[in-house]
Amino acid sequence: MSYVAPLKDMLFAINALAGLEHVSQLPECADATPETVEAVLEEHARFCSEVIAPLNRSGDQEPSYWRDGNVITSKGFKEAFKAFAEAGWQGIQHPVDYGGQGLPKLVATPCIEMLNAANLSFALCPLLSDGAIEALMTAGTDAQKQIYLEKLVSGIWTGTMNLTEPQAGSDLAQVRTRAVPQGDGTFKIFGTKIFITYGDHDMAENIVHLVLARTPDAPEGVKGISLFVVPKFLVNADGSPGDRNDVHCVSIEHKLGIKASPTAVLQFGDHGGAIGTLVGTENRGLEYMFIMMNAARFAVGMQGVGVAERAYQKAVIFAKDRTQSRDLSGSAGPVAIIHHPDVRRMLMSMRSQIEAARGLAYVTAAASDIGHHHADVATRKASQAFYEFLVPIVKGWSTEMSIEVASTGVQIHGGMGFIEETGAAQLYRDARILTIYEGTTAIQANDLIGRKTARDGGAVAKDIIAQVQATQRQLAASADADLIAIGKQLAIGAEALNDVVDFVVANLKSDIKGVFAGSVAYLKLAGIVLGGWQMGRAALISSEKLALGEGDARFYKAKIGTARFFADHVLVQADALRISVVRGSAGVMALSEDQF
- pLDDT of 172 above 90: no
- pTM of this prediction? 0.97
Among 86, 438, 544, 593, the active-site one is: 438
pLDDT band at 1 (very low <50, low <70, confident <90, very high): low
**Identity at 424, one-letter amino acid code:** A
Confirm if 273 and 247 have CB atoms less than 8 A apart: no
Q: How far is CA 309 from CA 324, 376, 405, 408, in A?
A: 25, 37, 9, 12
Active site residue 495: no
pLDDT, position 293: 85
Q: Work out the percent of the chain whose per-residue pLDDT is above 90.
A: 97
Confirm if 368 and 338 have CB atoms less than 8 A apart: no
Beta bridge partners of 228: 211, 278
pLDDT band at 170 (very low <50, low <70, confident <90, very high): confident
Nearest to 154 by CA among 215, 81, 49: 81
Q: Mapping DSSP to helix (H, G, I), strand (E, B) and coil, where does residue 538 land?
A: helix
Confirm if 134 and 292 have CB atoms less than 8 A apart: yes
| β-pairing verdict for 186-197 and 263-268 | antiparallel
Tell me: the pLDDT tens digits for 176-217? 999 999 999 999 999 999 999 999 999 999 999 999 999 999
pLDDT band at 292 (very low <50, low <70, confident <90, very high): confident
Helix (H) or strand (E) holding 405, with range, is: helix 377-413
